[in-house]
Amino acid sequence: MESVSSSSASMALLPETFQGARDDIAGEIGLIWEQVKAPVIVPLLRVAAFLCLVMSVMLVVEKVYMAIVIVAVKLSGRRPDKRYKWESLHDDLELGNSAFPTVLVQIPMYNEKEVYKLSIGAACGLCWPSDRIIIQVLDDSTDPVIKDLVEMECQRWASKGINIKYEIRDNRNGYKAGALKEGMKHSYVKNCDFVAIFDADFQPEPDFLSRAIPFLVHNPELGLVQARWKFANSNECLMTRMQEMSLDYHFTVEQEVGSSVYAFFGFNGTAGVWRISALNEAGGWKDRTTVEDMDLAVRASLKGWKFVYLSDLKVKNELPSTFKAYRYQQHRWSCGPANLFRKMCMEIVRNKKVSLLKKVHVIYNFFLVRKIVAHIVTFVFYCCIIPATVLVPEVEIPKWGSVYIPSIITLLNAVGTPRSLHLVVFWILFENVMSLHRTKATFVGLLETSRVNEWIVTEKLGDAIKTKVVGKAARRPRIRIGERAQHFSSPVLGTWAYLFLTPKIDGRLDLEHLFECTSS
């Protein structure tokens, strides 16, 4: 009986012991926090908040400026065919088809089993004199089965009288830029005046060339005609709807403003037509970054070439429908511009062929604000600094910086896709989630670390999307935690934990309350 009573007494004492130890740890951590907060944390947080507020102002001024320009363009009716000469091309009674320029159509692809037929078929269906067009399929596929399928498809169209060339390499050096560069070296390209480029999932309408080429034929100062993307699978899931909102703003506002005011914008890498002489004068394709398209556009612009964007000329394509594919794509799109800015900033400053206004636009508006500041502000300010002020109430964020500016930016972005206005809250959450990946990729590009030239081809599903949706409805999905967890890196999980725990801590760092929240 004595042993039983003594053991029960010791068991009763254990919780009190743990409680006392917990209180001691909480007290020590609280004491250290109070000693460090005032001299270190508060000043650093105030500096960071000030810098983020400055960048927020830069970003909202850019957004408002572009909104004003778009309204002015729409009201004034300054369409591309009003700013530049455009006349339809017709057969000449004496010259015949020779009145049409020779056009090269390049289709770079890599293991595109699901979409190769769609892109090749669309390119072969373009309305243009058969003796004035060459379809060039640049196949870098490493899967021999897919290579055979693509080659057979090219042979099938060749048997119908289409001038189609199937080109392969024995390596993938330079990835897409390397393939396009090799494609331009073939002897038959010397007879071509213009080159149209379509990624493997892009399907141009038959009248694409007849609407785009006249701008280049009648306006010798133009080096590039860029069409708008039209998303075939935007309704597939909520993630594709969020992507549509972001990209619609890019095409509706950013590309339109660049074309209307500065005759410059970033080439989107596909659904565009280049004047070959402009491409060659700019130095051709370079693989020094993961945004070879933007690199070429900036270099051509510095040579004095002008660009025109056609918002009413749309080319159907596919959005990434998995988070993994989208994350890799966004890494490339965020890292590449930052790295290109690092490489070309001084070259732009020293250039003597373009005006000071255009230099400022390219360096400040195009690169600094849109490609660098926008990513940093979204993550550092909205996901880190503002939540941190819960722990440090001595640092106050003015209402105009924490409420008004984000609201203006959000509304200006959302108007590009009116049908998705009711999804704006989900879009905000989605953009905040992606801001960590984009910010990380931006610093990778600026600092030129090991992943700076990482290139992973975005997975495309093509017609398989329909069967995928049917399959989802037919079977019950199984949740595999291991497979899901591998998509999230430790910084992502750490950020989630930070954002989750911050609201649970009051301004005085009541650690007892923290333990109660985490233990309950």
Q: How many helices (H) and strands (E) does the chain have?
A: 22, 7
Token pair in block for residue 389? 């002020």
Rounded Cα distance, 119 and 115, in Å = 7
24: its two tokens:
């001691």
Q: Is the dihedral of CA 192, 195, 199, 204 positive or negative?
A: negative
Instruction: Give me the catalytic one of 139, 140, 199, 287.
Output: 140
- Angle at the Cα of 265 from the Cα atoms of 264 and 266, rounded to 5 degrees: 135
How many other β-carbons are positioned within 10 Å of the β-carbon of residue 5?
A: 9
Report residue 330 as tokens: 């966004």
Query: Is-contact 321 312, C-beta < 8 A?
Result: no
Provide the 10 A C-beta neighbour count for residue 160: 8
| Pairwise CA distance, residues 378 & 333, whole Å | 16
Query: Which of 139, 201, 287, 293 does the annotation list as catalytic?
Result: 293
Q: How far, in Å, CA of 55 to CA of 49, rounded?
A: 10
- Where residue 360 falls (left for φ over 0; alpha for ψ -120 to 50; beta otherwise) is alpha
Looking at the DSSP bridge assignments, the partners of residue 137 are 107, 166
- Respond yes or no: is residue 207 known to be catalytic: no
DSSP H or E run through 81? helix 80-83
Active site residue 293: yes
Q: Which of 211, 224, 281 is nearest to 255 (CA)?
A: 224
Which pair of structure tokens corresponds to residue 115? Answer: 């979409």
Give the closest residue to 261 by CA, choosing from 357, 356, 344: 357
Amino acid sitting at position 427 = W
- Residue 295 CA neighbour count, 13 Å, CB half: 19
3-state helix, strand, coil in the chain (%, to 5): 65, 10, 25
255: which 2 tokens? 């590309």
Among the listed residues 109, 128, 333, 80, the one whose alpha carbon sits nearest the alpha carbon of residue 225:
80
3-class SS letters over 86-136? CCCCCCECCCEHHHCCCEEEEEEECCCCCCHHHHHHHHHCCCCCHHHEEEE
Instruction: Please give the positions annotated as active site.
Output: 140, 293
